[in-house]
Amino acid sequence: MLQINPLAAAISDTITMAKFDLTSRMGQYLDRHLVFPLLEFLTAKQIYDENELLQVKLDILSNTNMVDYAIDVWKLLYPNQEAMNERRNQVVSELNELTKSCAEITELMNDDKKMKKIETMRDSRTLMNFLQDEINCGPEKMESMYKMAKYWYECGNYSSTNTFLYFYTLTMQTTDKNYLNVLWGKLASEILGQNWETALEDLNKLREYIDSNTFGSALQHLHQRTWLIHWSLFVFFNHEKGRDLVIDMFLYKSQYLNAIQTMCPHILRYLSTAVITNRSRRNSLKDLVKVIQQESYTYKDPITEFLEHLYVNFDFEGARQKLQECQIVLFHDFFLIACLDEFVENARLMIFETFCRIHQCISIGMLAEKLNMNPEEAECWIVNLIRNARLDAKIDSKLGHVVMGTQPLSPYQQLIEKIDSLSVRSEALQHLIEKKLKARAHEDNRWGASEF
């Protein structure tokens, strides 16, 4: 099914000036409801014209059941015009119909005793039999539940969505025609309800299903993975274990790394941030930098460039400048703004550590300059690093020097690292040629645009 995504088109028209903003690229792979939090964030950051953002919001809202919200936005945009009310009647009559077809299910869900009994049932067959006895539940009633769930979702009532998907997710077989859609729908409504623990479970369930390779073509799998990568950012940058898990999925599951390199290299920003902000994952740096170099022809931003300057070119001045730009990028990124402080702290440490590998004795004044700090601040920072046993060094306050405890890299080791990166570059070229040969295609079977 080829369908141009109106949302992506609308956003990329309005948003071209904010150089590092990825919202329009990301919007292509997100359900329209998932774009809302991003738009709200952009509105607060005021980097775009307010009316243009409102127009994008209105375009998205007109395709949902959030009629009153749409009318509010309409009034802001066109204060002197009558708002459209027909849509509301349509939405209300749809609810009446669905309420009728789900009456028995709703009654069952309101029956605490029976619901308690259901909670004790462990397998889907027992539950299905129970539902058949109680409400004569068959494919038709399942379909009504599904439609009701989707209806509430379009209303922006994500907890009601989950209520109606409850029986469905407990009983559905992988052969169910709605199977994939239900998994996507469940994930979306858990994300929008900010239930990160359940969202992570749903994300894993969906990933296992996609990776089990039981449906569709290789291309369809690639697209499903691309969506999953984008949706997963909500979970990974909110769940407390997320920034660790994101590295395992994006960098070390080859099918996902392949999807990132083929479809969405801009995701490298998020992967890089996860690696940079976690000191325990420093051993992933080499693998990450290799990918960044391969992709530098198709994607770069201050964050990926920071790593390139530091670990490929050993260009400390370049890294310092990029670190400043990184702060602006993170500050304006919906997913990353919460990591800003950790990012700066760790990035400084990386500059420092790399610098120390090459120089054994460093003047604090020079170091302060490289880290965008004043000398007192820098000395204080280094003292803390030494105190917390994160750095093997001594400070000579009289001379204003830091003296490293460990041996720096020998010139020979440095040469080996350079050669390593040269062969990576030729690999990258080959990769690029392969990629040019692969055609891009669009496909539209998201929850947000499925066959309702």
Ligand X SMILES: *[C@@H]1O[C@H](CO)[C@@H](O)[C@H](O)[C@H]1NC(C)=O
State in angstroms the smallest separation of the CB of 244 from ligand X. 4
> 193 vs 400, which CB is nearer to ligand X?
193
> 25 vs 150, which CB is nearer to ligand X?
150
> 225 vs 243, which CB is nearer to ligand X?
243
SS3 of 401, please?
strand
Using CB under 6 A, which residues numbered 118 to 157 contact ligand X? 157
Residues 6+ apart with CB under 8 A from 197: 239
Among 57, 186, 239, 243, binds ligand X (CB under 6 A): 243
State in angstroms the smallest separation of the CB of 262 from ligand X. 27
State the Cα–Cα distance between residues 321 and 195, nearest whole angstrom: 38
> 53 vs 149, which CB is nearer to ligand X?
149
> 253 vs 435, which CB is nearer to ligand X?
253
First and final CA of the chain: distance in angstroms? 14
State in angstroms the smallest separation of the CB of 158 from ligand X. 8
State in angstroms the smallest separation of the CB of 24 from ligand X. 28
The two tokens of residue 173 are 């077989």
DSSP letter at 253 equals S
> 241 vs 425, which CB is nearer to ligand X?
241
The two tokens of residue 126 are 């027992």
The CA–CA distances, whole Å, from 181 to 6, 20, 28, 174, 184 equal 21, 32, 17, 11, 5
Assess 12 for contact with ligand X (CB under 6 A): no
State in angstroms the smallest separation of the CB of 157 from ligand X. 4
> 177 vs 241, which CB is nearer to ligand X?
241
Assess 160 for contact with ligand X (CB under 6 A): yes
Contacts with ligand X by CB under 6 A: the residue count is 8
Using CB under 6 A, which residues numbered 411 to 430 contact ligand X? none
Using CB under 6 A, which residues numbered 269 to 288 contact ligand X? 278, 280-281
State the Cα–Cα distance between residues 257 and 244, nearest whole angstrom: 16
State in angstroms the smallest separation of the CB of 249 from ligand X. 13
Question: Nearest Cα to 326, choosing from 343, 310, 309, 338?
Answer: 343
State the Cα–Cα distance between residues 16 and 48, nearest whole angstrom: 9
State in angstroms the smallest separation of the CB of 163 from ligand X. 7
State the Cα–Cα distance between residues 373 and 330, nearest whole angstrom: 19
Find out whether 49 and 14 touch, Cβ atoms under 8 Å: yes
SS3 of 331, please?
helix
Site string for ligand X, 202-241 (x = CB under 6 A): ---------------------------------------x
User: Helices marked H in 78-157 — which ranges?
Assistant: 86-101, 103-109, 112-120, 124-135, 139-154
Which residues would be at the binding site for ligand X (CB under 6 A)? 157, 160, 241, 243-244, 278, 280-281
